[in-house]
Structure 1
Amino acid sequence: MELAGNAYGNIPKCYSMDMSTDFVPMSIFSESSQGKKLSVEGKIYHKFDMKPHNENMEDYAKLCRERTNKYMTRTRQTQFIDDDSEMHMRMRPMLGTVDSKPSGSSDKRKMPMKGSEMKRTRRDPEEMEKILFKLFERQPNWTLKQLILETDQPEQFLKNMLKLLCIYNNKGANQGTYELKPEYKRSEDKSDSQ
């Protein structure tokens, strides 16, 4: 088969047609302008495949490459704006950014955020015991958060150490704090008197 006119540039003119009947027959439907009626316009019994002749394959491949490259190029453009004095060009802080402070948080020390760069490393348990004893000399009751800030140890490791050395106060004036077990308090008192 040969196309009559070549109005589309370097599109091949000569094609070979392959007819095949080894596919499921199809029907052509149309819909009325109101969209209410559907009617059968015809049936398809044969399938025709067109491909360019072998002598036109190089031209056709070149056409396909050009078409692909054309659609892959971006049409965006970068513009430089010289006048940056306009109000809409200025950067404004948004809610929830670093500059904005929630009310009542200026006095409190915040816990460092957990992250891969903020991983805490465990100390030797004996060294940790000495540090905890020194902290409890300074102050008799500590919350878990205070101890994490002071020791910079992983929470679970610190909890395990506190279970060995301390009592957790559930009630009373020191609720929610840890204090040394009585046996450790006695040993400190004896060492002070000697």
Structure 2
Amino acid sequence: MKMEEFGAKKNENQALETDFAERPMWLMKSPSLIASALQSLPSMDDPYLPVAKVILSVDPLAAVDEETKFVMELARAGSGNIPKRFGLDMSKDFIPLAVFSESSSQGKTSVEGKIKNKFHMSPRTENMESYGKLCRERATKSMCKNKQIQVIDNATGMYMWPTPGTVAPTGTFEKKKVTTKTTEMKRTRRDRREMEEVMFNLFERQSHWTLRNLIQDTDQPEQFLKDLLRDLCIYNNKGSNQGTYELKPEYKRATQE
């Protein structure tokens, strides 16, 4: 929660506990699949047992302005293809933030600390193979949709009568126009991390894709796919694969068996 957004909240409650307001805290943005894996870990007898440790690498002979390197090792990553080591990229500029907690029984709000550093979690080079396998597993699972069959009781046929707006207009041009508009309305933007996993799975199945084919296959907005392709792929301007996208070399190594 931002500091300036908490003004109205403070006026609603009687008092705000600020004993730990100056306690420094870290904010870390992790991939959704890692967060889900950590949340699904079996409960331990000791609730304070650490799930990870952060390794700080400092070179005493390096220049003063050289960035400090952070590495996180998961102590309880569970089984499967979950990587054990991740790099932490520290953000230099971010909005001042604070951490708040609210008691469910008393409704008392407390300041738990302020964000000192903000990190983005990313897999390291030696873990790209296992991370790629995990992404493919998640992508395959997300593409398998469960179909449901519902039986309608007392079906009298009244549900089959056309309602206003469902009758298609006459003429070839009008039909195409209505169909295109309906398709665009159905394209809802999915989570970026989830779409990255889907893209890796698609490029594993086929090495080159056109933007039009990706839109038809993923049913995602065109601009959203362009942003993803800009980060993950290379556009071929010439050659036999002109007009298509392919994965960048570093992502190809991660998806190859």
TM-score, normalised by the number of residues in structure 2? 0.30
Structure with larger Rg: 1
Greater length-normalized contact order (CA 8 Å, ≥ 6 residues apart): 2
